Structure 1
């Protein structure tokens, strides 16, 4: 019964926060439906990330034994947050449709072509979200049989990079690539993504190797198959996305280095778009 209450609460909270944020931005800022939807999507993702990271920090600090110690937040937040991934698939679709409208396809409605274009554009992210619901949810809640709350808390910390990623996308959307905020956020995004996503899975194997007093390279041979499968599917995605972030950062630096210095106030040179995809 408690599990159903938490899942229901998450199913109401995340879409409700999205709708409330979108309505507030439209009324207070005078934004269009699409603009408000895009920013609201980033806001909800950031809120979920802060909640997940906070839960992870509490769990990690409370578990001395990485396998046996338990914390009530572990299963509770898994149940509460799982509906977020289903909601976010739809929210990303709204952002995709808004981009089509910005490009001059105002007549575009929900059609097979629009859905197909969305799936082609966001295929990896959609598959990631589907995998989180269909595999990670039962693996985290059922298959681990109450073991390893510490490791689940570490996995929650992966969301630490999300707020900086979302802010970067919003700044790019509003052509703020040349601002100090964008530069500082870019450094923070690189650091948090590398620390909390790229290094995440090697650290999990390292922590388990210390627990069982075994060389880390032998851990995949004794770790549960669900852990190995999850790491094999999720870690390459993090490496791929981190590569895109680095490529975008290098492209932006290259553009700035090739921009001639301005000797006169009236000399040319406008804002440039960063094509980094995260």
Structure 2
């Protein structure tokens, strides 16, 4: 019963926070619908990032035995956060839909034009965000049962470590908001970009090598022997998720390099912020896109 309550709580919390934030920005701050919706999705993602990182730090610091020690927050937060991945698929589409409207695609009128617009938006969304969609589906279909059932109550420490990659999400979201409002030239954007690079590299790129290293120390075996004794679910998850992190980190580095190169080559008096550059992985999107979820 408690599991169902936590799942329901997560199902209400994340969409509810999006709606509350959007209404607040629209009616109290006077923002337009699109701007309020997009910024609200960033806010919800940032809140989830802070919650997951905090939970991970608490769990990791509380488990001395990486396999046997338990912490109540581990299973509780897994149950609570699982609906977020389904919610975020909708949130990404919401951002994509707003981008189409900003570009003027809403000029078609009538039901037939609206249907064509929705169809084009769905197709474009699937083509653009297919990697992140598959990532979210994988988290619900594989990570959820693996974390709650297959590990049989062991390895809360490792589960806590798996929450820590969310640290980079808040920097991704802030970067996208700054780009949305053409603040690429500000000091805040530069500092945020550095923090994004560092947090993504430490918490995502180095994550899976560290997990294997930590278990090798626990079991007193060489690191290269860990895949031979680790459960197949762990190896499969690492094999599917780590290449994605490497790919997104490559995009971040390419975007940062492109931005730095263009700024250094632009005369200071005629410089205009490059709206096509981004320091974020854009939830699986290439750094050239201007609309960042």
Same fold by TM-score, threshold 0.5 exceeded?
yes
Normalised to the residue count of structure 2, the TM-score between the two structures is 0.91
What's 1:141 paired with?
148
Please state how far the C-alpha of 1:257 moved relative to its aligned partner.
0.8
Unaligned runs of 5+ in 1: 263-267
Give secondary structure in 2 for the equivalent of 1:153. helix
What's 2:103 paired with?
103
What's 2:288 paired with?
none
In structure 1, distance between residues paired with 2:85 and 2:63? 27
1:176–1:182 contact (8 Å) kept in structure 2:
yes
Please state how far the C-alpha of 1:9 moved relative to its aligned partner.
0.3
Please state how far the C-alpha of 1:29 moved relative to its aligned partner.
2.5
Query: What are the superposed Cα offsets for residues 213-238 of structure 1, whole Å, 9 maximum, x if unpaired?
Result: 11101111110000000000000000
Please state how far the C-alpha of 1:113 moved relative to its aligned partner.
2.5
176, 180, 190: which one aligns with 2:187: 180
In structure 2, distance between residues paired with 1:92 and 1:223? 34
Please state how far the C-alpha of 1:35 moved relative to its aligned partner.
1.0
In structure 2, distance between residues paired with 1:45 and 1:261? 35
What's 1:166 paired with?
173
> Is 1:260 aligned with 2:267?
yes
Please state how far the C-alpha of 1:73 moved relative to its aligned partner.
0.2
Please state how far the C-alpha of 1:274 moved relative to its aligned partner.
4.0
In structure 2, distance between residues paired with 1:229 and 1:80? 24
In structure 2, distance between residues paired with 1:158 and 1:261? 37
What's 1:230 paired with?
237
208, 214, 218: which one aligns with 1:211: 218
1:26–1:32 contact (8 Å) kept in structure 2:
yes
Normalised to the residue count of structure 1, the TM-score between the two structures is 0.96
> Is 1:155 aligned with 2:162?
yes
> Pairwise mapping of residues 55-94 of structure 1 onto structure 2 (< 5 A)?
55-94=55-94
In structure 1, distance between residues paired with 2:161 and 2:206? 11
What's 1:243 paired with?
250
What's 1:198 paired with?
205
Give secondary structure in 1 for the equivalent of 2:177. helix
> Pairwise mapping of residues 47-62 of structure 1 onto structure 2 (< 5 A)?
47-62=47-62
Please state how far the C-alpha of 1:163 moved relative to its aligned partner.
0.3
In structure 2, distance between residues paired with 1:10 and 1:118? 25
What's 1:265 paired with?
none
2:263–2:271 contact (8 Å) kept in structure 1:
no
Name the Cα RMSD after superposition.
1.1
In structure 2, distance between residues paired with 1:134 and 1:237? 17
Ranked by relative contact order (alpha carbons within 8 Å, sequence separation 6 or more), the top structure is: 2
Give secondary structure in 2 for the equivalent of 1:111. helix
In structure 2, distance between residues paired with 1:87 and 1:273? 28
What's 2:291 paired with?
none
In structure 2, distance between residues paired with 1:37 and 1:6? 26
258, 270, 273: which one aligns with 1:271: 273
